[in-house]
């Protein structure tokens, strides 16, 4: 069974960046684990509320949830953070790791990205998702989330403190972004990822079969 680990600095980061892809992974039978590194205390809502919202979102997704144990605004790319992510990697043994894009205006996002790359240095597939604070992002890999956008928005609505009465999560903008990434990926809706490493498995690709025409039987 495929195992996916998504790493986010704050509650709701993972859902924003790759919620649709994780929903697709769960529907395809993958095990999904979410590692949320901080308590989100600097955003709207107190840490207790943010934790409850994150648990509800994880339950909706059908994912295991791991608390990183750090304070919002205090992530530093160093031994403590790398070791904590490494502990979760050892427990989960993921086939795919998803985390923040390195070029980001939020210091916690940058630290999470750098520390995840360091902790996952022995793994074959590490991808980066975008967030509203991402500065530079040129996706080269896309997750097809066609038909899953309503579920992604429902997933995000579990983070009520960020969606209602706050400007942190703009659901209309996320819908437009999914359509734009879909246009880039030649599908209807998509999420984009940049790559540190990606192991290509030909078995995972849908190989189109040649179209048969009348009288073509037996031709090579």
Q: Say which CATH number the domain at 143 has.
A: 3.40.50.10320
Considering the domain boundaries, does residue 208 fall inside one?
A: no
Q: How far, in Å, CA of 19 to CA of 155, rounded?
A: 7
In a domain, 188, yes or no: yes
Structurally, the chain folds into a number of domains equal to: 1
Q: E strand or H helix at 192, and its extent?
A: strand 190-197
pLDDT confidence bin for 201, thresholds 50/70/90:
confident
CA 188 to CA 138: how far, in whole Å?
A: 19
Is the pLDDT at 218 greater than 50, yes or no?
A: no
Residue range(s) defining the domain that contains residue 89: 3-200
**What's the rounded mean pLDDT across residues 5-22?**
97
Identify the pLDDT of residue 205.
52
Asked whether the predicted pLDDT for residue 170 surpasses 80, the reply is yes
Both tokens of 185, joined, read: 């990926």
Task: Give the separation between CA 209 and CA 206, rounded to whole angstroms.
Answer: 9
Asked if residue 170 belongs to a domain, the reply is: yes
pTM: 0.89
pLDDT value at position 134? 96
Structure tokens that stand for 88 in this block: 């979760």
Task: Judge whether 143 lies within some domain.
Answer: yes
29-55 pLDDT, tens digit each: 999 999 999 998 888 888 899 999 999
- Identify whether the C-beta of residue 178 lies closer than 8 Å to the C-beta of residue 172: no
The answer to whether position 79 is within a domain reads yes
Label the pairing between strands 141-144 and 64-70.
unpaired
In a domain, 114, yes or no: yes
């Amino acid at each position: 069974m495929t195992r996916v680990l998504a790493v986010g600095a704050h509650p709701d980061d993972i859902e924003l960046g790759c919620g649709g892809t994780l929903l697709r992974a769960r529907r395809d039978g993958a095990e999904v684990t979410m590692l949320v590194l901080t308590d989100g205390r600097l955003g709207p809502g107190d840490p207790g509320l943010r934790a409850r919202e994150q648990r509800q979102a994880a339950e909706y997704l059908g994912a295991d949830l791991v608390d990183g144990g750090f304070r919002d605004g205090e992530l530093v790319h160093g031994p403590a953070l790398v070791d904590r992510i490494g502990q979760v990697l050892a427990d989960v043994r993921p086939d795919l790791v998803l985390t923040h894009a390195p070029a980001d205006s939020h210091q916690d996002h940058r630290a999470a990205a750098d520390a995840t790359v360091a902790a996952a240095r022995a793994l074959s597939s590490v991808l980066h998702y975008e967030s509203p604070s991402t500065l530079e992002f040129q996706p080269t890999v896309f997750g097809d989330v066609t038909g899953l956008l309503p579920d992604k928005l429902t997933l995000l609505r579990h983070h009520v403190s960020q969606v209602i009465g706050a400007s942190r999560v703009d659901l209309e903008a996320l819908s437009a972004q999914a359509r734009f990434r879909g246009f880039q990926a030649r599908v209807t809706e998509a999420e984009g990822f940049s790559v540190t490493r990606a192991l290509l498995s030909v078995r995972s690709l849908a190989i189109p079969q040649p179209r048969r025409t009348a009288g073509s039987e037996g031709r090579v």
